[in-house]
Amino acid sequence: MLHFWLHSLSRLAMIIVLLVALSLVSPSFLSLQNLSNIVRQASLLFLLASGLTVVILTAGIDLSIGSVLALSGSVAANFIQQGWIWSGSLIGLVIGAGCGLLNGLMVALVGLPPFIATYGMLWVAEGFAQVFMKGEIISGFPRGFRFLGAGYVTGIPVPILVMIVVLVVSIFFLRRTNFGRHVYIIGANREAARLSGISIRGNLLLVYSLSGLISAFAGLVYVSRINAVESTIGEPLLLPAIAAVCIGGTSLFGGEGGIGGTMVGALIMTLVTNGMNLLNVSPYWQSFVMGAIVVLAVALDQLGSAKMKGA
């Protein structure tokens, strides 16, 4: 328990430090408008990272989330722009789930290491996205769809509401359902899980499919928010998503952490990105910083993980 509180306190401290530092840099930082923007941005990152969190909890990884987001978003956008909002969205979700299912098959049935399987999927999905989009941009979506990313409900941006809903639902799923328990124990000790009668294959298939589905959903919200899509929109999202999960306390070794942490991690990552923008750090340096943060986050994870402390 102590571990959990120390962890939460340190993350909270990070957020406070960042907020203070950024408000010093820019006086208008702490305005409601700006904070609201930040939370909205964080919610987009959070959505993408939430599926990843579940995969990482099983001691796996999904490197394809960015490309799957781009592919499903691109295909969906194509239909949505023509007015087919619901079917277009559905097609996008199906594509995402399908990619996830393929990942799951490679990992659970063939037994490929998750990083290789999903890394391959990264390229395949990316390629298909490129083929589909032919290097073009689709922009300008109907009002109904735009509501998802850019709308407001009683003054609160819709993505934030979506985030809250996803947060609550996923925490419930992970903490209060049989499936959630399965996820944790598969990550904590796969062999013990197997010997307790838990179906490893079935659960992993589900987990990876879910990750693909959520990536697609995040894509819909994202595309709706920026009102445009091109085949490369997924590329810069992978590293921040991984960083968010790690900073949030979910261990790469499995069995530890949760969605709540990922939300905190997403907030921290968004504050960092915002900070860099405020300080006029060039986007090129930002790539470097992203990479460095992932390395740091993983190193911290290693030091703090219960599993690594000789469990």
Partner 1 sequence: MSETAWGTWARRVGMAPGAVYALVVLSLTFTLFTTQFLTLRNLTNVGMQGSVLIIVALGMTLIILSQGIDLSLGPVMGLAGVVLALAVKQQVGLPLAIVAAIVVGGCFGLLNGVLIARLGLPPFVVTLGTFGMAQGLALVLTQGSSIPGLGPAVQYFNDGRILGVQVPIIMTAVAFLVVYVILYYTKFGTYVFALGGNQEALALAGVRTRLYKTGVYVLGGGLAGVAALVMTARMNAAHPTVGVGLEFDAIASVILGGTSFERGKGWLGGTIFGALAVSVLRNGLNLIGLSTSWQVSMVGMVIILAIVVDSLRGI
Partner 2 sequence: MAEGLVLQLEGISKQFPGVRALDDVSFDLRHGEVHMLVGENGAGKSTLMKVLAGAYGHDAGRIVINGQPADIRNPAQALALGVSVIYQEFNLVPYLSVAQNIFLGREPRHPKIPGLIDHTRMKAEAQALLESLGVDVDPQAMVHDLGVAQQQMVEVAKALSVNAQIVVMDEPTSALTTREIVQLFAAIRRLTTRGVGVIYISHRLEEVFEIGDRITVLRDGKWITTLNVQDATMDGVIQAMVGRAIDRLFPRDFMMEKGEVAVAVHNLHRHGVLQDITMTVRCGEIVGLAGLVGAGRTELARVIFGADPYDEGEVEIFGRTVRGSPTERVAIGVGLLPEDRKREGLALILPLRENVVVASLRRLFPSGIIRRAKEHAVVTDFVKSLDIATPSINRMTKFLSGGTQQKVVLAKWLCTQSRFLIFDEPTRGIDVGAKAEIHQLMNELVKHGAAILMISSELPEVLNMSDRIYVMHKGRITKELSREEANQETILRHAMGVTP
Residues that bind partner 2 (CB under 8 A): 1, 176-179, 181-182, 184-185, 188-189, 191-199, 255-256, 306-307, 311
Residues near 245 by beta carbon (within 8 Å), at least 6 away in sequence: 49, 52, 53, 56, 257, 261, 262, 265
Position 94 contacts partner 1 (CB under 8 A): no
Position 4 contacts partner 1 (CB under 8 A): no
Contact partner at residue 196 from partner 2, partner 1, none, CB < 5 to 8 Å by partner kind:
partner 2
Distance between CA atoms of 58 and 114, rounded to whole angstroms? 11
Going 261 to 267 to 268 to 269, the CA torsion angle's sign is: positive
Contact partner at residue 306 from partner 2, partner 1, none, CB < 5 to 8 Å by partner kind:
partner 2
The smaller minimum CB distance to partner 2, of residues 186 and 244, is found at 186
User: What are the structure tokens assigned to 74, written together?
Assistant: 């691109």
Provide the β-strand partners of residue 157: 152
Position 116 contacts partner 1 (CB under 8 A): yes
Contact partner at residue 179 from partner 2, partner 1, none, CB < 5 to 8 Å by partner kind:
partner 2
The smaller minimum CB distance to partner 1, of residues 135 and 197, is found at 135
User: What are the structure tokens assigned to 172, written together?
Assistant: 């419930």
Distance between CA atoms of 11 and 30, rounded to whole angstroms? 19
Residues near 92 by beta carbon (within 8 Å), at least 6 away in sequence: 72, 73, 75, 76, 77, 216, 219, 220
Contact partner at residue 199 from partner 2, partner 1, none, CB < 5 to 8 Å by partner kind:
partner 2
Q: Closest distance between partner 2 and the C-beta of residue 51, in Å? A: 20
The smaller minimum CB distance to partner 1, of residues 223 and 238, is found at 238
Contact partner at residue 185 from partner 1, partner 2, none, CB < 5 to 8 Å by partner kind:
partner 2
Nearest to residue 207, comparing CAs of 53, 95, 47, 44? Answer: 53
Q: List the one residue from 2, 28, 111, 191 that touches partner 1 (CB under 8 A).
A: 111
In angstroms, the Cα distances linking 244 to 6, 28, 304 are 18, 25, 16
Up-side HSE of residue 300: CA atoms within 13 Å toward CB?
17
Position 107 contacts partner 1 (CB under 8 A): no
Centre a 10 Å sphere on the Cβ of residue 271 and count the other Cβ atoms it contains.
21
Please check whether residue 150 is in contact with residue 220, taking contact to mean a CB–CB distance below 8 angstroms: no
Position 106 contacts partner 1 (CB under 8 A): yes
Q: Closest distance between partner 1 and the C-beta of residue 60, in Å? A: 11
The residues in 236-275 that bind partner 1, with binding defined as CB under 8 A, are 238-239, 242, 252
Phi, psi for residue 139 in degrees, rounded to 5: -145, 165
Q: Closest distance between partner 2 and the C-beta of residue 181, in Å? A: 6
Query: For binding to partner 1 (CB under 8 A), which residues are involved?
Result: 61, 63, 106, 110-113, 115-117, 119-128, 130-131, 134-135, 231, 238-239, 242, 252, 282-295, 298-299, 302, 308
